[in-house]
Amino acid sequence: GLAGKVEGGNVRLRAWIDGTRLMISIQDDGIGMDQSKLASVLEEGGGIGVSNVNERLRVLFGAGYRMAIESKPGAGTETLIEIPEREPVRETAPAVTA
């Protein structure tokens, strides 16, 4: 992340629609991570909220949801989140009888 970068850094957030999917990209120019650190971030309890957010979104959006993280030491990190289209939720009120 950016916390270990003395001179600070930048975060770029982009979102777009690709067919029936919402795509969200979060990219930074921070210190990056090697593969072992990246694996620990994705494990439950390994990252500050990353695995928690990933699991909650998976429960909410199902099998069509995807999160991918790419990172290299000294080259920053990019997280790509793909959210599938969902059927609108219809709330129905009970019938009122007099």
Count of helices and strands (H, E) across the chain: 2, 4
Task: Give residue 33's pLDDT.
Answer: 86
Task: Give residue 50's pLDDT.
Answer: 84
Q: Is residue 91 part of a domain?
A: no
The model's pTM: 0.73
Q: Is residue 95 part of a domain?
A: no
Q: What is the CATH number of the domain that holds 57?
A: 3.30.565.10
Task: Give residue 38's pLDDT.
Answer: 81
Phi/psi for 50 (5° steps) reads -60, -50
pLDDT along the chain (98 residues), means of 10: 69 95 93 84 68 88 91 91 78 65
Indicate the number of domains in the chain. 1
Domain range for 50 is 11-84
Task: Give residue 92's pLDDT.
Answer: 66
Q: Is residue 32 part of a domain?
A: yes
End-to-end CA distance of the chain: 61
